[in-house]
Structure 1
């Protein structure tokens, strides 16, 4: 089992007691200081296969905090590891050191010069955030890596990142002008052009010493440094090779900052980084070339690059198939395909003249015809479809990691870069190597520069480490044969550190040691990286060593779909349930998180609302998945899912299911939270608040019957205050208002309706007892469309319930019983082909989600296929020409639409937009928002009230306040409507009510 106290052989000796060290940090810093075992466990991994637990974690609030942390660490002889988003794929950002996380506060733009096209930023600035800030000025930072939504400029500089368009713009090192850094002795230095250093300055002395080292080994530099654009191994010592300097700067000037770029934090800690900007291309066109064979895609790349594209990116058959399995990516990738290609190349042309870009696209079509593949190009001249396809390509790593089962694509040779003329032959021979070891590789990425991300599928718990070593040896021989670079983009870290000497030779490797000694004589900055590194297959550093086990527990959901064995060559999977015990399936589902950090994004979409307001790893899908993995493997004690560590990690999870859709590997934290809440409830019992939340469907009939009395509580302040205190509810929230019983009144007043077309309107607890007008409106609309509307009336019994309130409060058995009762009642309708239509997204969509994992078999699948949200059903009926619905214009000219999180998770928001478009003269604007923050009972809870409002204030409430006062607000979720009312004072309505108003 992986220990949380892995010892690094590179750690300096004579370290002061960690407790004393931590207390000094807490006493002198104003930022966060975290030394608890769960936090250390969450920072023990990055996007690599490694796990090394840090000494502690600090988040400096400002530059002075950063200096204080380094001074205290130097005094205590504790190593320093500067870290951005933690997306490194070779283990650069894990180590037994004090991790300095710059992402929360050191993320500001310091200076900007539009005329000179430069910007000075702090290291924690996220690339996408910077480019959004630059866009109004017509500029951008063009090192557009696939992790742009979460990666930081500091991490990119440390790694010498490249990106999809490096064929045109170059790598990070070509676009960095200067670095202000703190050195190992505590001094500050400003690295930039050597010819600008002041006489006698520290920077000049360092430059002279570096130059002397470079000149000493000049012949070896010229012999051993790869002559390809994509090479990021070792230190950039060739910039001081006077006879043959690497043209990192367009003018050929030596820049000492370029030595720090790619140094993986081993030479200094960045304070500020000065970047060279580029004009934002005004026009782009994309040609997607479909290839019948993978070899042709590789072979023809050398001809395509001669057309002058800005990017040539590969997507192989494996990635295509996995994309087709992802509901978010399927419609995008389908548009790019002609038949069933074995590979596609995304070829982009960009500039300021659209006519020239279209001409280049025509040239691509002509070229493919000349090469024997006429009609193989899908033209994409429109920006929207280009962006959608690039998003799929950017998710390439995560898509590859979405394979279920123990075998995963493993990163260790994925960055080998070879000259283009050898690319096809290299990939062909490497494929033969994979076959020799009973596996295959997944291929994608930067064909235009000869760097292909290839990951052999290996099971690291079994024989994966041995195969990794042998494949690496054979791959390195091929790289040497074709005079390529072993490390072409993702750096050295633990994974490729031992190959630095192999690539550059012992003489240059000793020069690298001299550089390290010059800048960091006590080996305090990220020790064990680039020089004196561990072996790539050292079991002490593996996240999943052979000794890895999981603790015994019995999950409540059926996780057998993750218990699979996959044949790496055929892709065939064993039947569900054959891959391990009950715990194994749950553990494998948790381990779908590959730590790439896509959940750290702040742009469009839902995921991850809690991180957006806290910026803390603990409240992030990745952080939670890591916590669960550590718990399930016994690395955080033996309490399992009922532990305090799990409770704290999941505390701000609002079960929005954003990760279910937006995480490319399909991590479903909402379902994991149900497992954890159930385990906690069984171990510790239920609180009064938990019981009140869970039992709402049972007491709702009584509360509705005596609604005058129940609703009057709010009019007695003292009584309302006592009730809220007893239930630990936020005093600022009003208690739910009960308002009649729609099902009872509808049944009593129903009139016989004869129609061959039937539908069952499933009226949930909220729309039955609290907002019956929604159900009434939906019924009227369906009847106006000519449907005979059945209702989920259960004579002599309480109404049906999806069980979600029980799930959210940890009462799994009751939730399952409610689901079973609902399923049994609805099956007669389902069996005769009657659609089940619901109004509340979280309730209806439970039938398409949780019902499938209760173990109900084929009946649950049948109900799932027949269950529709109100708008989904209307769109479907109209498409089948079975919706003769006439609508008239309303007094509203504009509608503002907020989507419920579960609507977004199931791609069910587009139908709402579609039905609103049916109303004449109505302009619809969908608010780009994450979770509203109410999330059922979450926003009611006293301890979560502030976080709830912060989530709403992130984008939703500001958009509503800025909206036209005459605009109608649409929100299908009960919680969403409540939050909008509390936060803005405005009323939002269900779309059914607007459609009712528009009935002709």
Structure 2
């Protein structure tokens, strides 16, 4: 065989050749079956991932098939443009940000192409989300084993790129251990399948004499030349993810080229398809939580637990628990933790409850009366286990933007050592924290996959000043030396990217880093595949998303005051940490955000995408493509399909409040130019005033007749700029008029409650208020109500008319002040209006004491009857119900009290995991929103109503939800308010 010359290592160059972007766009549109997006908004949306780094892409391609991605790479090659493959965009080390043509696989290339149950394999496209893959595999009894905490939104392609792991890797190993074959594409256009390669297969490949043969010859030469160093320098630990997998080329690993390419972070090839190895689903689980005095002794106990073969073994310290308590995360699960300030979560799996319980008891017996004996909590209830597991999976979000703490960042969030050295490594890491001034009673927290020695944390780096960035660099260098001294890895599952690429020499030595460069040159000699990551990397303090030169425009004339962000809109826009929980697929799993993304699959329609655009709008680096401030059309277009559901306010681990950001932006976007506002803003925003006119002049019958006459209806919606939907019917008698004309009932022994006459209950559905009055009087409350017209300002808030909203709300607060100053409660029946008092008002007027009193003394019906009515027994309904919980109730008030009240009433109530109904106040009535509005409803809500028994009540406290159900569910199905469900039984009794 002829001598094979290895190419020289790829070296980084900062002088890329100019690219004819205009001509490349034309070629992409001509030749690629997909969406070609080189507009400023798309470039801004994809400028960063979940890391510390930011690089503006050249543009974005969303291919409809893997073959379309091949065509896109071919065009990029013709124009010399770098390429970056992107999955869920949740990478923490900067792998998914680059000045390149970004290929986003997640929208279309997300199919399972085949399943072989006997061989336990499946063939998938790279954009399929892990949870969706396992959902589709459920009937086979098989699943893909590795499961990172981002499993609801991470893609298989991204997992391959990062060599992801997760808690289940304790049983199933890393992604590299679960890959059968890959179909890959090199930058020069070569396309082939790869996997294990026997000597016979290698000889057959070599005989072909094509590009693949050349690559394989060079790979074998590379392996032979560096084999000794690979065996010597690669840590023999469960979680070595750093560097390229050169060890997969060794003879003892069957020259596995597919596994070599796992974890290469889009720097070598483009993965087109993957054949995955699957594992059997274990039907039963048990969870034991072990409490220890500190995290170091918890880590010391890990080696004693491992022989019992748990399927997962996670560690959590008290600082993480405190962070979750401060952010209100997982409160019930935290209550159930055993005694201690650090915890090991030990999960056993098997095919029967007896088996998993036996495993747990054997572990506890083995630990009894040893130095590792813990305080114990034992669970085999799936609901309790899921809650406790959420404590661990919430780690990243829980440690970001903790109230009254400095911001925390990735960087050293993923180191790994051998499990038997974990305790000592954590002690050394804590000493390093103390030396650099990062240690405190409140942070950094330590948690992670302790059964495999992998440690996660977020550190309060100062990435805003030159000195802070310099200290960050010194810490990273010292931390790298520390983990290498323990025989560990810079990364245990998140990869190297830009955070740790520069430090690889400290772990592997110069000679193996040289081998990495030669490997890169074999596959990508022109350095066009995700350049500057892993090999010839950018510096770890380069391309920072913040950095010492970050100087954002921070507007001062704000309507909302952003008390959780120091009054700064720029800080609010920087709140997103990129975890991507808003990119939900399939059922929402009790999560509301982000309904428009769930319908469109568009990154810019996720909470994260919109947050990225707002971050670019404040233009902290001066090079943002979104450079027109409040007048930015790119931001306007992205926010237009935000339903302002407020789901992200609670569901987002960083508490990004996109509903407030949207209306703040819209208020400024249209400020001084009302003629640009859509007419629907006036028609819907001024609905309270219209309702007051209709009731004052008693013209409801006339208005209803005119608005529901076919020709006049069409004229009305055209003049109002509205979608072609039914116009709500005004009640002939408002709730206020009904209350004013009746004699109060009941003995009022519980006191007086003010029933808030919200616009929707008062003008359109007064029967809800009437039911509430009957129910409250029966419960012993005296009901009062303002006699004059009042409004919380909701419709002006939701349409971004914040100047009017503030005036209306201020007047209302003054009118309610005597009642709330006397300690009186205010009862809200409409969730969206109740949420204004509980959330919006305090953020519009954070220093107003009457607003604070109103916030604290506004209650829902269920809260009043459970928390403020001791001994109350509701009417017995004894039936079934499915509940569509209003988005604002989910986000602000919660549904726990409702669930408690329904249970007391004998109602078997199922809370639908349907997310937003899709109407969302004004959103569904606005022209151009029809498809998203109906698409959100058709995901879960409408199908569940249609399949429900007609005797099953459909609970929907929100006017929007009831309207959506009435219009779209069919078969005469309607929703009823909780007050109606309970009060109707009073009438029967």
Partner of 2:4: none
Q: Does the 8 Å contact 1:12/1:77 carry over to 2?
A: no
Q: Does the 8 Å contact 1:12/1:523 carry over to 2?
A: no
Partner of 1:733: 726
Structure 2 counterparts to residues 306-321 of structure 1, below 5 A: 306-321=307-322
Output the TM-score relative to the length of structure 2: 0.93
1:833 equivalent among 823, 841, 846: 823
CA drift at 1:560: 5.6
Structure 2 counterparts to residues 76-115 of structure 1, below 5 A: 76-115=79-118
| Structure 1: distance between partners of 2:516 and 2:237 | 20
| Structure 2: distance between partners of 1:855 and 1:483 | 52
Partner of 2:885: 899
Change in CA separation of 1:191 and 1:375 when aligned onto 2, cut-off 3 Å: closer
| Structure 2: distance between partners of 1:595 and 1:40 | 16
Q: Does the 8 Å contact 1:409/1:442 carry over to 2?
A: no
Q: For 1:181-210, what per-residue CA distance to the aligned partner results, in whole angstroms no more than 9, with x for missing partners? A: 112221220012212564434555533431
Q: For 1:828-880, what per-residue CA distance to the aligned partner results, in whole angstroms no more than 9, with x for missing partners? A: 333333321111000012111011121353322222221111122222245x2
Q: Does the 8 Å contact 1:740/1:770 carry over to 2?
A: no
Partner of 1:849: 839
| Structure 1: distance between partners of 2:746 and 2:280 | 65
Structure 2 counterparts to residues 772-851 of structure 1, below 5 A: 772-794=766-788, 798=789, 800-851=790-841
| Structure 1: distance between partners of 2:809 and 2:72 | 54
Q: Does the 8 Å contact 2:613/2:626 carry over to 1?
A: no
Output the TM-score relative to the length of structure 1: 0.92
CA drift at 1:943: 1.2
- Match of 2:459, SS state, is strand
Change in CA separation of 1:908 and 1:511 when aligned onto 2, cut-off 3 Å: closer
Q: Does the 8 Å contact 1:757/1:786 carry over to 2?
A: yes
Structure 2 counterparts to residues 458-857 of structure 1, below 5 A: 458-462=461-465, 463-538=467-542, 541-557=543-559, 559=561, 561-563=563-565, 582=567, 585-602=568-585, 603-604=588-589, 605-633=591-619, 635-636=624-625, 639-685=628-674, 686-704=677-695, 705-751=698-744, 754-758=747-751, 759-794=753-788, 798=789, 800-853=790-843, 854-857=845-848
CA drift at 1:337: 4.2
Q: Given the alignment of the two structures, is residue 873 of structure 1 paired with residue 856 of structure 2, yes or no?
A: no
Q: Does the 8 Å contact 2:919/2:960 carry over to 1?
A: yes
Q: Does the 8 Å contact 1:289/1:378 carry over to 2?
A: yes
Partner of 1:993: 980
| Structure 2: distance between partners of 1:755 and 1:886 | 18
Q: Does the 8 Å contact 2:647/2:887 carry over to 1?
A: yes
| Structure 2: distance between partners of 1:269 and 1:818 | 56
Q: Given the alignment of the two structures, is residue 233 of structure 1 paired with residue 245 of structure 2, yes or no?
A: no
| Structure 1: distance between partners of 2:645 and 2:320 | 27
Partner of 1:280: 281
Q: Does the 8 Å contact 1:193/1:253 carry over to 2?
A: yes
Structure 2 counterparts to residues 350-389 of structure 1, below 5 A: 350-372=349-371, 376-389=375-388
Q: For 1:880-930, what per-residue CA distance to the aligned partner results, in whole angstroms no more than 9, with x for missing partners? A: 21x2444355xxx4322211111211353233333333444x533322201
CA drift at 1:126: 0.4
Partner of 1:224: 233
CA drift at 1:637: 5.3
2:61 equivalent among 58, 61, 79: 58
CA drift at 1:409: 2.4
| Structure 2: distance between partners of 1:16 and 1:207 | 31
Q: For 1:202-226, what per-residue CA distance to the aligned partner results, in whole angstroms no more than 9, with x for missing partners? A: 5555334312211111111122111
CA drift at 1:413: 2.2
Change in CA separation of 1:158 and 1:752 when aligned onto 2, cut-off 3 Å: closer
2:223 equivalent among 192, 214, 217: 214
- Match of 1:456, SS state, is coil
CA drift at 1:755: 2.4
CA drift at 1:695: 1.8
Deviates more, 1:84-93 or 1:451-460: 451-460
CA drift at 1:241: 2.6
| Structure 1: distance between partners of 2:93 and 2:464 | 18
Q: Does the 8 Å contact 1:733/1:940 carry over to 2?
A: no
- Match of 1:817, SS state, is helix
Q: Does the 8 Å contact 1:236/1:259 carry over to 2?
A: yes
| Structure 1: distance between partners of 2:912 and 2:741 | 40
- Match of 1:222, SS state, is helix
Q: Does the 8 Å contact 1:12/1:522 carry over to 2?
A: no
| Structure 2: distance between partners of 1:549 and 1:14 | 30
Structure 2 counterparts to residues 185-264 of structure 1, below 5 A: 185-195=188-198, 196=201, 198-199=204-205, 200-201=207-208, 203=212, 206-242=215-251, 245=252, 252-264=253-265
Q: Given the alignment of the two structures, is residue 428 of structure 1 paired with residue 418 of structure 2, yes or no?
A: no
Q: Does the 8 Å contact 1:126/1:150 carry over to 2?
A: yes
Aligned residues: 952
Partner of 1:927: 912
Q: Does the 8 Å contact 1:405/1:588 carry over to 2?
A: no
Change in CA separation of 1:57 and 1:992 when aligned onto 2, cut-off 3 Å: same
Q: For 1:26-82, what per-residue CA distance to the aligned partner results, in whole angstroms no more than 9, with x for missing partners? A: 222231111112211111101110001111000001122111101100111101100
| Structure 2: distance between partners of 1:71 and 1:288 | 53
CA drift at 1:636: 4.5
| Structure 1: distance between partners of 2:450 and 2:513 | 29
Q: Does the 8 Å contact 1:290/1:337 carry over to 2?
A: yes
Partner of 1:917: 903
Q: For 1:252-309, what per-residue CA distance to the aligned partner results, in whole angstroms no more than 9, with x for missing partners? A: 5442211110111122111110111111111111111122222211222222223221
CA drift at 1:16: 3.6
1:174 equivalent among 165, 173, 177: 177
Q: For 1:535-554, what per-residue CA distance to the aligned partner results, in whole angstroms no more than 9, with x for missing partners? A: 1112xx11002111121422
> Superposition RMSD on alpha carbons, in Å?
2.1
Partner of 1:301: 302
Partner of 1:983: 968
1:452 equivalent among 450, 455, 462: 455
CA drift at 1:679: 1.0
Q: For 1:104-149, what per-residue CA distance to the aligned partner results, in whole angstroms no more than 9, with x for missing partners? A: 0000001101121111100001001111111222111110111111
Change in CA separation of 1:735 and 1:773 when aligned onto 2, cut-off 3 Å: closer
Q: Given the alignment of the two structures, is residue 149 of structure 1 paired with residue 152 of structure 2, yes or no?
A: yes
1:973 equivalent among 934, 943, 958: 958
Q: Does the 8 Å contact 2:560/2:664 carry over to 1?
A: no
Q: For 1:785-818, what per-residue CA distance to the aligned partner results, in whole angstroms no more than 9, with x for missing partners? A: 1211112323xxx2x2111111112221221222
Q: For 1:730-750, what per-residue CA distance to the aligned partner results, in whole angstroms no more than 9, with x for missing partners? A: 124335434321212211222
Q: Does the 8 Å contact 1:406/1:588 carry over to 2?
A: no
In structure 2, the gaps of 5 or more residues are 1-10
Q: Does the 8 Å contact 2:771/2:979 carry over to 1?
A: yes
Q: Given the alignment of the two structures, is residue 945 of structure 1 paired with residue 957 of structure 2, yes or no?
A: no
| Structure 2: distance between partners of 1:489 and 1:523 | 24
Deviates more, 1:108-117 or 1:906-915: 906-915
Q: Does the 8 Å contact 1:324/1:334 carry over to 2?
A: no
Partner of 1:573: none
Deviates more, 1:423-432 or 1:205-214: 205-214
Structure 2 counterparts to residues 2-21 of structure 1, below 5 A: 10=13, 13-21=16-24
